């Protein structure tokens, strides 16, 4: 006879089979079946031997014994069949129990292992025989033992199915993640409390979750890296643009430095030329006039007693030469710095200059201005005068104009001076790109205006002449109109 497997309790199928065995047909039914079987045997025997019936009591007793024998044989056959069926079912149960994909354990309240299947023993890395009656908490990671004991307490309290995750350590020192599902059980044969626990290996799941987390972290890092690459590319592009911008600024700075050096040379050259002109004028005009006066004075000294009438005439001529010399000196002084600008103001200085300009060139001039311009400071009034002086000089040299109109107007935030002539026009870009004296006047005007925060604009078109527009912000320099 086969040995029954070592299990904690019979499954429901075995229990049903046992109850069915107890509820077999009653003895009367079994007796009737046995008696029918016995009659069949006797009939066959009489037909073979020709035996006759005799002795009622003897036959009855024999009949009872034979019926009982047949009944026992039938019971034995049925019991043998039931045992065979039980062994098959037990073998199937043992197979399902021991080789289940999860570990089955029976634990008492102290966590001692009462029963464990082969899968559970394999998870713990020890033989099943060595694990029986051992405590399970030592296999739990020390940090999780209090939680595992609390899990057992909840299971035995009858709170229903409980779940707990922890790390279990095998006997060889390796560890794995395990998931516990526990429910309390009641044993009819023993008052001892115990519970059923299912252990599942979560290592693959945890590794998968960790791999998923790493993939997500890698994806986040990848997105951040792409954003950083885009940001750096943007910064690199900005740096390239900034580099190009600074290169352009540097080139402009070099160009402006070159232009300033050129302007400085031109200014020095113009200053030297002006000094030469003044020197020539003083030598050719004043010096000659003074020499003539000196000669006439010497002649007068000789003719004083000889010719009184000629002496008076020579005195008159000498006075005219002195007056002419004084006028020339005054003209030089006005060209260098007109005293009327400081004494009487901008409008009077412009009026005097334009009057002498008309007398020299024949070009008609017209001036309109508002009285409040005189409230500008000296520096700004001087700039306006020099702009007008330079503009009229250019008109005399280049424009071939017949008329010039100069106006000074008050705007909300600035004072504007316009100088418009009816002469020939010129190409502003070509003049500004040209080298030499052709652009020195315009650049000088622009430089003077920028020194006081102003700006210069030039409008020139064929048939419409040229208009110079000089603007200086008012700020606190000009207060009101006249």
Q: How far apart are CA 126 and CA 116, in angstroms?
A: 11
Mean pLDDT by 10 residues, the chain (482 residues): 40 46 51 68 62 59 74 78 75 70 87 88 87 90 90 86 89 88 74 85 86 91 91 90 88 82 68 66 66 70 64 72 71 65 86 90 92 87 90 87 93 92 77 54 82 89 87 64 35
**Residue 363 exposure: Cα atoms within 13 Å on the Cβ side:** 24
Residue 252, sorted as left (phi over 0), alpha (psi -120 to 50) or beta, turns out to be: alpha
Tokens 């299971």, located at residue: 155
| Burial of 415 per CB tally in 10 Å (0-12, 13-18, 19+) | buried
pLDDT score, position 265 = 65
pLDDT score, position 362 = 92
The answer to whether the beta carbons of residues 458 and 428 sit under 8 Å apart is yes
pLDDT score, position 304 = 61
Q: How far apart are CA 282 and CA 296, in angstroms?
A: 19
pLDDT score, position 404 = 94
pLDDT score, position 188 = 57
Three-state SS at 59: helix
User: Residue 68 to residues 34, 57, 64, 191: CA-CA distances in angstroms?
Assistant: 7, 16, 6, 42
Strand (E) or helix (H) holding 339: helix 339-343
38's CB contacts (< 8 A; 6+ apart) are 63, 66, 67, 70
Evaluated on CA atoms 17, 23, 27, 32, the torsion sign reads negative
Beta bridge partners of 421: 404, 466
The long-range contacts involving 80-84, CB below 8 angstroms and separated by at least 24 positions, are 82/17, 82/21, 83/1
């Amino acid at each position: 006879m086969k040995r029954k497997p070592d299990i904690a309790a019979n499954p429901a199928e075995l229990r049903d089979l046992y109850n069915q065995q107890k509820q077999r047909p009653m003895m009367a039914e079994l007796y009737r079946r046995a008696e029918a079987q016995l009659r069949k045997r006797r009939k066959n025997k009489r037909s073979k031997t020709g035996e006759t019936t005799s002795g009622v009591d003897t036959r009855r007793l024999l009949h009872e014994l034979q019926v009982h024998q047949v009944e026992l044989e039938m019971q034995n056959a049925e019991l043998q069949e039931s045992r065979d069926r039980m062994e098959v079912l037990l073998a199937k149960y043992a197979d399902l129990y021991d080789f289940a994909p999860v570990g089955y354990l029976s634990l008492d309240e102290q966590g001692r292992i009462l029963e464990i299947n082969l899968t559970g023993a394999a998870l713990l890395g020890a033989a099943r025989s060595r694990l029986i009656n051992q405590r399970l908490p030592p296999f739990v990671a020390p940090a999780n033992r209090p939680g595992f004991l609390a899990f057992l307490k909840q299971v035995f309290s009858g709170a229903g199915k409980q779940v707990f995750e922890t790390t279990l350590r095998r006997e060889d020192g390796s560890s794995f993640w395990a998931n516990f599902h526990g429910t309390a059980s009641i044993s009819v044969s023993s008052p001892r409390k115990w519970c059923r626990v299912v252990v599942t290996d979560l290592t693959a799941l945890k590794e998968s979750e960790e791999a998923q987390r790493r993939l997500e972290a890698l994806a986040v890092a990848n997105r951040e890296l792409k954003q950083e690459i885009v940001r750096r590319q943007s910064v690199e592009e900005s740096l390239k643009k900034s580099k190009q911008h600074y290169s352009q600024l540097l080139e402009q700075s070099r160009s402006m430095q070159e232009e300033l050096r050129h302007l400085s040379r031109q200014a020095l050259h113009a200053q030297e030329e002006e000094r030469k002109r003044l020197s020539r004028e003083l030598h050719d005009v004043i010096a000659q006039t003074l020499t003539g006066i000196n000669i006439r004075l010497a002649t007068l000294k000789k003719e004083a007693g000889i010719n009184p009438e000629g002496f008076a005439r020579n005195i008159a001529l000498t006075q005219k030469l002195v007056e002419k010399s004084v006028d020339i000196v005054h003209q030089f002084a006005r060209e260098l710095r007109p005293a009327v600008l400081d004494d009487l103001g901008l409008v009077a200085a412009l009026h005097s200059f334009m009057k002498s300009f008309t007398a020299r060139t024949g070009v008609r001039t017209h001036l309109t201005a508002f009285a409040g311009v005189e409230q500008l400071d000296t520096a700004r009034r001087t700039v306006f005068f020099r702009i007008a002086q330079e503009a009229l000089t250019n008109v005399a040299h280049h424009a071939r104009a017949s008329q010039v109109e100069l106006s000074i107007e008050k705007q909300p935030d600035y004072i504007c001076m316009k100088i418009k002539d009816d002469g020939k026009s010129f190409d502003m870009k070509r003049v500004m790109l040209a080298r030499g004296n052709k652009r020195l006047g315009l650049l000088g005007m622009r430089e003077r205006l920028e020194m006081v925060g102003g700006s210069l604009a030039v409008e020139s078109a064929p048939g419409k002449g040229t208009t110079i527009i000089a603007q200086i912000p008012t700020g606190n320099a000009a207060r009101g109109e006249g």
